Amino acid sequence: MNRNSAPRIGVHTSIAGGLPNAIARAQGFGCDCIQIFARNPRGWAARALTSQEIREFRDAQERAEIWPLVIHSVYLINLCAQDPVLLARSRAVFREEIERGLALGADYLVVHPGSSGVAPVDIGIALSVDSVREAVRGVDLKGAVTNAGEAGCRNALTILIENTAGQGSAIGSSFDQIAGLLAGLDDLPVEVCLDTAHTFAAGYDISTEAGLRSTIRSIDRSFGFDRIKVIHCNDSKVTVGGRVDRHEHIGLGCIGAGAFRRLTHNLKFRRVPFILETPVDKERNEAWNVETLRELSRASE
């Protein structure tokens, strides 16, 4: 992307009625990029994708010129679970997500690093690193999937670790913790998805000009801004440091419209795709949030 061009903006879009429908919905919302779940996000089991629906989805995306394609891993995955049964299931399902992402031609696969329970953070980080390594064993993330059959397609897939709000025992709320995860996976294509609402809730005050500058310095001192490949762009229902994950419509939460105008004008952020995961209610939907963010990106600073 040209550093001086408008940012690419998209939303997390439903796959109800079939994967190709997500592309049509994204077009209707005015999206340049898209994020989807590739399966039911709240269950362990998933039906197999047919070769026909994979082809139809990839053809629809190509025709729409919507990119990148981001897949968000299912919510049940806990890469640093202390319970061995949950940990084994999480690793197996994350492996399935990787294979699905490759088959669908996804550019990025987002995953939360997990919750470590009563274990110390450093133990959680080490276990998350081991889980990612276990999940990718035997998989060529540049395109070849072991035993993928007809679904195997050659494209590169990058795993993105998403920062968290720090609720409960979730790891990854501090940039130093994200840096620790990346350091343990430095030989793999693993980068960062930065969520604005999580960043704010974790205590990084991006709502002010000075706070944004401080946050950028913290990123550069830890894992480095170039590691951020996708931004989950969400306002927050909770105040700074609230450590709860509650998304709000763009400009209507505690982060505020001015902050999103600064974000979309800042060259460090502007070159990264923005994916919205904002609420849908009677007054405002996905299209409203996309257009609001576009207007802020066009507004004078």
The SS3 of residue 147 is coil
Q: One of 232, 249, 261, 262 is an active-site residue; which one?
A: 232
Per the CB < 8 A criterion, the answer to whether 174 and 192 are in contact is no
Structure tokens at 201: 């809730």
Q: Which of 97, 99, 162, 286 is the catalytic position?
A: 162
**Per annotation, catalytic residue among 191, 205, 245, 248:** 245
Q: H-helix or E-strand containing 197?
A: helix 196-201
**Which residue out of 247, 249, 261, 262 is catalytically annotated?**
247
- Helix segments in 65-141, DSSP class H: 84-104, 121-136
96 is catalytic: no
| From 195, 205, 248, 286, active-site residue | 195
107 is a catalytic site residue: no
Q: Which two tokens stand for residue 6?
A: 């408008």
Catalytic residue among 39, 100, 198, 249: 198
Query: Any residues with CB less than 8 A from the CB of 105 and at least 6 apart, and which?
Result: 58, 61, 69, 153, 155
Catalytic residue among 277, 284, 291, 294: 277
Q: By the 8 A CB rule, do 52 and 111 touch?
A: no
Catalytic residue among 100, 112, 249, 262: 112
Q: Catalytic residue at 108?
A: no
12 tagged catalytic = no
Q: Is 99 a catalytic residue?
A: no
Catalytic: which of 3, 42, 281, 301?
A: 42
Cβ-contact 79, 190 below 8 angstroms: no
162 is catalytic: yes
Can 265 be counted among the known catalytic residues?
Answer: no
Active-site pick, 58, 72, 261, 270: 72
Active site residues: 42, 72, 75, 112, 162, 195, 198, 232, 245, 247, 277
